[in-house]
Amino acid sequence: MNNNNFSGVLTGPNLLSCIEDMSLADHDHLTHCTQIATLSADTACSRFVDSTKWLNEYVNTLDFLGWSVFQDAIFTRTRHDVLRSVADFLVESAGKMPDRRQGNAMIDTLDALKPDKPALLSLDQESLLGRHFQVIPARYDANGFLEIAVFNLELVASTKESNFLYVESEKRSATIIQQRACLKLDKGKLETKRTLIDKKRREIRMKRFDLPRTNP
Bridge partners of 17, per DSSP, are 8, 137
**CA-to-CA dists, residue 13 to 20, 91, 101, angstroms:** 23, 18, 23
The pLDDT confidence band at residue 73, using thresholds 50, 70 and 90, is low
133, HSE (Cβ side, Cα atoms, 13 Å): 28
Mean pLDDT for 55-68 is 95
Q: What is the pLDDT of residue 6?
A: 79
The pLDDT confidence band at residue 1, using thresholds 50, 70 and 90, is very low
Query: Domain residue spans in the chain?
Result: 12-208
Domain spanning 12-208, CATH class: alpha beta
User: Is the model's pTM score more than 0.75?
Assistant: yes
Residues 6+ apart with CB under 8 A from 181: 55, 59, 69, 73, 74, 75, 149, 150, 152
Considering only 132-136, 140-144, 151-155, which range has the smallest mean pLDDT? Answer: 140-144
Considering only 32-41, 101-110, 121-130, 175-184, which range has the smallest mean pLDDT? Answer: 101-110
Q: What is the pLDDT of residue 205?
A: 86
Q: What is the pLDDT of residue 172?
A: 74
The pLDDT confidence band at residue 129, using thresholds 50, 70 and 90, is very high
Query: Can you spell out the DSSP letters for 165-196?
Result: GG--GGGS-EEEEEEEEEEEE-HHHHHHTHHH
Q: What is the pLDDT of residues 5-60, one digit of tens each?
A: 778 999 999 999 988 778 889 999 999 999 999 999 999 999 999 999 999 999 99
